[in-house]
Amino acid sequence: MSDFTEQQKQYLAGFAVGSGLTQSLPRSTFAATLGLSAADMPNGGKAPHGDGSPVPAEQICYTAQDLQLAAGKKLTTEEKAKRTRFPLDQWDDIKAHAARAEPAKGTDILAFKYFGIFWVAPAQTSYMARLRFPAGIVQSYQLRGLADLADQYGGGFNDVTTRANLQIREIKPESTALFLEALADLGVVAKGSGADNIRNVTASALAGIDPDELYDTRQMARDMHHTILNHRELYGLPRKFNISFDGGGRIAALEDTNDIGFSAVKMKGGVEGGGEIQFRLTLGGITGHKDFARDNGVSLKPEDCVAAAVAIVKAFILHGDRTDRKKARLKYVLDRMGFDGFIAEVEKQYGKPFPRVALDQTEPRPAVHKHGHVGVHGQSQPGKSYIGVVLPVARMTSSQMRTISDLAERYGSRHVRLTVWQNLIIPDVANDHVSAVVAEIQRIGLAVDSSSVRAGLVACTGNAGCKFANANTKKHALIAADYLEQQLPDLDAAVNIHFTGCPNSCAQHFIGDIGLLGTKVTVGEDMVEGYHLFVGGGYGADQAIGRELKRNIVADDVPHVIESLLRGYLAERT
């Protein structure tokens, strides 16, 4: 209990007398101690503890709040709202709002995000829905069904996100409940895709088909996904949380940008467990705050990773800051408690110490192929190829989705893989059929042999759909790609360019070779859209936070600035 005050320890001691993570103190008594009314307490005070009534799974969230209140701190508005009513219990509110065609207001905006719907005004007067696909795997019937839903309830398109996920925009307030019901009919889950939850679980996009991979991470991501869905207490976090599984293959999963990153490694010959595949545990990645997940010596067998992740999340629930949302992510718990202190708390949840293995006892990770997510490549299955399709700044129309779905059914294995690079892959195409599939992809206006620039182009939603954005990132990214392809047709290096609209860094500008962060620039008496420019970011073996090179570039000038940078690079590289 190294991070708790004496008062908190006493409270937790009382709490621990009960069973597992339940508390033994009467809730009403504890409320009075804190100067709160029963109505301020979980479940509106209806199920006080100590009276024999069942303890809700989400009690761990309220216990964490109680600990911070006991330390004399004030909960944020969002935490108070969770205390009044657990957000997952607001389905009837969604239906009532839809019946009245009313948008969410106040803290209901946060609560509705627990169901995967985001009110995005003032950028748009509509909802955006974010879904969940563990390891980015979407069945072809789901892709086709989502195209239909995008036509019926949304704007007629889907966007691929940097968590290998899909978003549907422009859903009207009156359509939310019907949309979510239709989503469930398709077997697609949106629960917990937003707000203070564990986001879509990512894994290596080529898991199971990658000739270079060390471990097929599909089932790990799937197991993590279903564990989250079936444990209500895992919806009691103080802030959002990301988990990723990297199988050591040719496409990076960007696990080092996650709160928890698991990375497959091979034990060196001659050491204990030589030749075995284990997963290094890394913690605290949040590149928007300039931190990658760090290795702390813990190495786990594949079958132990999900249980370890659950223990980490529970320790985060108990120790995360609920009084300042800017300091609520795992990174700040680690900064405060230190890695060893936090891991000690995690091990209490895990029930035993984590095994440790020195990094020098493992083989280096196989190299990544920077743009291996685009184009035609052989698989580990002889005679089969995967085809990486470039989606212009992550968007595909419903008509394109139907064609891709048809292609996956006719020539592939009835599914596609979404990637953290905001594109998609059609796997398992017989080599004899590749040219037919490529021709069809080109016919619908998409590409597989993209220029170096377009293959590594990442852009967040921007001000066309996000209220935080300072610039129209998707539009500016496309303009830059068009211009650079014309000016630098012979660019032969894989370059990743990330456009992000605000410091939330959804497009991870700090890890791009070139990163652009949206801002407002003063021109005469006007404020116009512009960017700060960063260079030299990377991930994995090239891990680096990009450094700021130039500030306040007017958006119209960005393509020219990137062009001169790339020309300089081509002239000077060794």
Q: How far apart are CA 524 and CA 286, in angstroms?
A: 36
- Smaller CB separation from ligand SF4, 70 or 497: 497
- Smaller CB separation from ligand SF4, 387 or 517: 517
CB of 504 to ligand SF4, least distance (A): 4
Among candidate residues 260, 259, 263, 258, the one with its CA nearest the CA of residue 248: 263
Alpha helices in 250-371 (DSSP H): 305-319, 330-350
Q: How far apart are CA 26 and CA 29, in angstroms?
A: 5
CB of 528 to ligand SF4, least distance (A): 17
CB of 544 to ligand SF4, least distance (A): 20
Please state, in angstroms and as integers, the Cα–Cα distance from residue 558 to each residue in 455, 499, 504, 517, 518, following that order.
18, 11, 21, 11, 11
Q: Does 505 bind ligand SF4 (CB under 6 A)?
A: yes
Stretch in the footprint of ligand SF4 (CB under 6 A) among 12-20, 254-262, 352-360, 504-512: 504-512
Residue of 4, 91, 339, 468 that binds ligand SF4 (CB under 6 A): 468
Q: Does 501 bind ligand SF4 (CB under 6 A)?
A: yes
Residue of 305, 446, 469, 516 that binds ligand SF4 (CB under 6 A): 469
User: Which secondary-structure segment (H or E) carries 22?
Assistant: none
**C-alpha 313 chain-centroid distance:** 15
Rg (CA), the chain: 24
CB of 556 to ligand SF4, least distance (A): 19
- Smaller CB separation from ligand SF4, 130 or 402: 130
Q: How far apart are CA 185 and CA 316, in angstroms?
A: 33
Stretch in the footprint of ligand SF4 (CB under 6 A) among 21-29, 33-41, 56-64, 465-473: 465-473
Stretch in the footprint of ligand SF4 (CB under 6 A) among 161-169, 344-352, 422-430, 459-467: 459-467
- Smaller CB separation from ligand SF4, 248 or 546: 546
Stretch in the footprint of ligand SF4 (CB under 6 A) among 41-49, 74-82, 354-362, 501-509: 501-509
CB of 477 to ligand SF4, least distance (A): 12
- Smaller CB separation from ligand SF4, 265 or 459: 459
**C-alpha 62 chain-centroid distance:** 25
Task: Return the number of other C-beta atoms located less than 10 Å from residue 211's C-beta.
Answer: 12
Output the residue with the shortest Cβ distance to ligand SF4. Answer: 501
Structural tokens at position 292: 């990658």
Q: Does 504 bind ligand SF4 (CB under 6 A)?
A: yes
- Residues facing residue 286 across a β-bridge: 291
- Smaller CB separation from ligand SF4, 47 or 545: 545
Q: What single string gives the DSSP state of each residue in 358-373?
A: -GGGBPPPPPP-TTTT
- Residues facing residue 535 across a β-bridge: 514, 547
Residue of 221, 506, 533, 566 that binds ligand SF4 (CB under 6 A): 506
Q: Does 515 bind ligand SF4 (CB under 6 A)?
A: no
Residue of 460, 511, 562, 566 that binds ligand SF4 (CB under 6 A): 460
Structural tokens at position 315: 């320790």
CB of 288 to ligand SF4, least distance (A): 8
Please state, in angstroms and as integers, the Cα–Cα distance from residue 490 to each residue in 486, 493, 512, 566, following that order.
9, 9, 21, 11
CB of 361 to ligand SF4, least distance (A): 39
Alpha helices in 515-557 (DSSP H): none
Among candidate residues 65, 67, 66, 27, the one with its CA nearest the CA of residue 49: 27
CB of 519 to ligand SF4, least distance (A): 11
Scanning the structure block, which residue is given the tokens 């199971």? 208
Q: How far apart are CA 31 and CA 53, in angstroms?
A: 17
Residue of 298, 317, 466, 481 that binds ligand SF4 (CB under 6 A): 466
Stretch in the footprint of ligand SF4 (CB under 6 A) among 127-135, 158-166, 383-391, 460-468: 460-468
Q: Does 502 bind ligand SF4 (CB under 6 A)?
A: yes
User: With contact defined as beta carbons under 8 Å apart, do 472 and 416 qualify?
Assistant: no
Q: Does 461 bind ligand SF4 (CB under 6 A)?
A: yes
- Smaller CB separation from ligand SF4, 207 or 394: 394
Among candidate residues 215, 248, 211, 246, the one with its CA nearest the CA of residue 366: 248
Residues 109-139 as b or e (16 or more Cβ within 10 Å = b): bbbbbbbbbbbbeebbebbbbbbbbbbbbbb
Stretch in the footprint of ligand SF4 (CB under 6 A) among 47-55, 464-472, 545-553, 560-568: 464-472
Structural tokens at position 404: 């891709």
Please state, in angstroms and as integers, the Cα–Cα distance from residue 138 to each residue in 100, 328, 461, following that order.
33, 32, 21
- Smaller CB separation from ligand SF4, 59 or 519: 519
What residues from 245 to 264 belong to the interface with ligand SF4 (CB under 6 A)? Answer: none
CB of 538 to ligand SF4, least distance (A): 20
Q: Does 500 bind ligand SF4 (CB under 6 A)?
A: yes
- Smaller CB separation from ligand SF4, 64 or 469: 469
Please state, in angstroms and as integers, the Cα–Cα distance from residue 540 to each residue in 210, 511, 569, following that order.
18, 10, 22
CB of 506 to ligand SF4, least distance (A): 3
Q: How far apart are CA 46 and CA 435, in angstroms?
A: 64
Q: What is the binding site for ligand SF4 (CB under 6 A)?
A: 460-461, 466, 468-469, 500-502, 504-506
